[in-house]
Amino acid sequence: MQRIFSGIQPSGIPHLGNYLGAVRNWVALQASHECLYCVVDLHAITVWQDPAALAQQTRELAASLLASGIDPKAHILFNQSAVHAHLRLAWIFNCVARMGWLNRMTQFKEKAGKDRENVSTGLFTYPNLMAADILVYHATRVPVGDDQRQHLELANDIAQKFNHDYGVDFFPQIEAMIMGPAARVMSLRDGTKKMSKSDASDQASIKMTDSADEIALKIRRAKTDPEPLPETIEGLEGRPEARNLVGIYAALTDTDHAAVLREHGSKGFGAFKPALTDLVVSKLAPIADETNRLLADPATIEAILRDGARRAEALAVPIVEEAERLVGFLKV
Ligand code: AQP
């Protein structure tokens, strides 16, 4: 059985993009893979996180994952800072990866914007830690949204360079699993920008814990154009907001853009948006209810994460120790 690793940052409440681009696929993959799912708190602090909020965000995200259907007994759910092997391997990878490689990362460019001199060095080396997260388990498959494709290519470059530099065949190549018509869900306010936890506008994303009324309001206010929906995919060209809403509908009904347009093509948004609202509410409301139920018992959530970290550590330590031996560290 192939081993999967994937992570999500406790940098805020997860949104529909996280759910459709990642979490929903994580749940499905449990049937056919050995899975490690990680709340990546080390990654979260690459941008400022309020210390009073971070621990609670970590519990909330874990609760959301459990409510979505992650099975912490058959698989492993844990938070990243609890397994130090990630950091030990990340340091080695900091010394393997090249500045030029990291300079090409579009996520860094987007997040740093014009303020490159003032962002944390952690934000720059983030992809090295991400490579370590995966390779410290020799995981070979990583289900992610489309935005993470470039980071996984970099992880493969790091694995290859490590193997080459130390003359070994130690780290495997990783395969990105980018699944479905909503691999990149866009902001409800701007169809050219990805839906993001850290978006300044609360109206840009549907949170996994939003109430039915909040979801309805956000979809009603979602930016669109005045034209009705086209009948074929070609008609979505140059209409990013329409494409995004159709993509969300397709993902939630397990179809594709063409099938949605066969059903809803030529309707105006006045008719399509309520249908989309019903669909989103029907999928997210049970998850939100279960998340709230789990959050009433934080000790149980913490016990699940602790048990996951213990089992993750048992897998990671022999691999990081071998990497350290290959590098030549003296074991005293
Ligand atoms: N808009 C999206 N559409 C599809 N997939 C998405 N993912 C994130 N946004 C979208 C996928 O969700 C997983 C976890 O992401 P993350 O929390 O590690 O970091 P991120 O990609 O930086 O997500 P956010 O929401 O934009 O967080 P912030 O605002 O904190 O940076 C990944 O598999 C990602 O592909």
Check whether residue 153 and residue 285 sit in a common domain: no
Q: Structure pTM?
A: 0.94
From ligand 1's centre to the CA of 196, what distance in Å?
A: 6
Angstrom distances, CA of residue 175 to CA of 150, 251, 311: 12, 22, 24
Is residue 77 a contact partner of residue 32, using CB atoms and an 8 Å limit?
no
Probe residue for ligand 1, chosen from 9, 18, 25 as the CB with the greatest number of ligand atoms within 8 Å: 18
Check whether residue 168 and residue 287 sit in a common domain: no
Range of the domain at 211: 202-292
Catalytic residue flag (residue 194) = yes
Identify the pLDDT of residue 220: 96
Identify the pLDDT of residue 208: 95
| For the CA of 205, the nearest atom of ligand 1 | 1
Name the residue at shortest CA distance from atom 10 of ligand 1: 17
Catalytic residue flag (residue 161) = no
| For the CA of 47, the nearest atom of ligand 1 | 30
The whole-angstrom separation of Cα 110 and Cα 8 is: 18
Domain of 314, CATH number, reads 3.40.50.620
Q: Considering the domain boundaries, does residue 196 fall inside one? A: no
* Residue of 109, 111, 161, 223 marked active site: 111
Check whether residue 225 and residue 126 sit in a common domain: no
Identify the pLDDT of residue 145: 83
Q: Count structural domains, the chain.
A: 2
Residue in 306, 18, 279 with CA at minimum distance from that of residue 148: 18
Check whether residue 272 and residue 301 sit in a common domain: no
Identify the pLDDT of residue 223: 96
Identify the pLDDT of residue 49: 96
| For the CA of 12, the nearest atom of ligand 1 | 30
> Which structure tokens are listed for 287?
């998850």
Name the residue at shortest CA distance from atom 33 of ligand 1: 144
Identify the pLDDT of residue 280: 97
Q: Considering the domain boundaries, does residue 197 fall inside one? A: no
Catalytic residue flag (residue 197) = yes
* Residue 253: DSSP 8-state: T
| Full pLDDT tens readout for the chain, 332 residues | 899 999 999 998 999 999 998 999 999 999 999 999 999 999 999 999 999 899 999 999 999 999 999 999 999 999 999 999 999 999 999 999 999 999 999 999 999 988 899 999 999 999 999 999 999 999 999 998 888 999 999 999 999 999 999 999 999 999 999 887 777 899 999 999 999 988 889 999 999 999 999 999 999 999 999 999 999 999 999 999 999 999 999 999 999 999 999 999 999 999 999 999 999 999 999 999 999 999 999 999 999 999 999 999 999 999 999 999 999 999 99
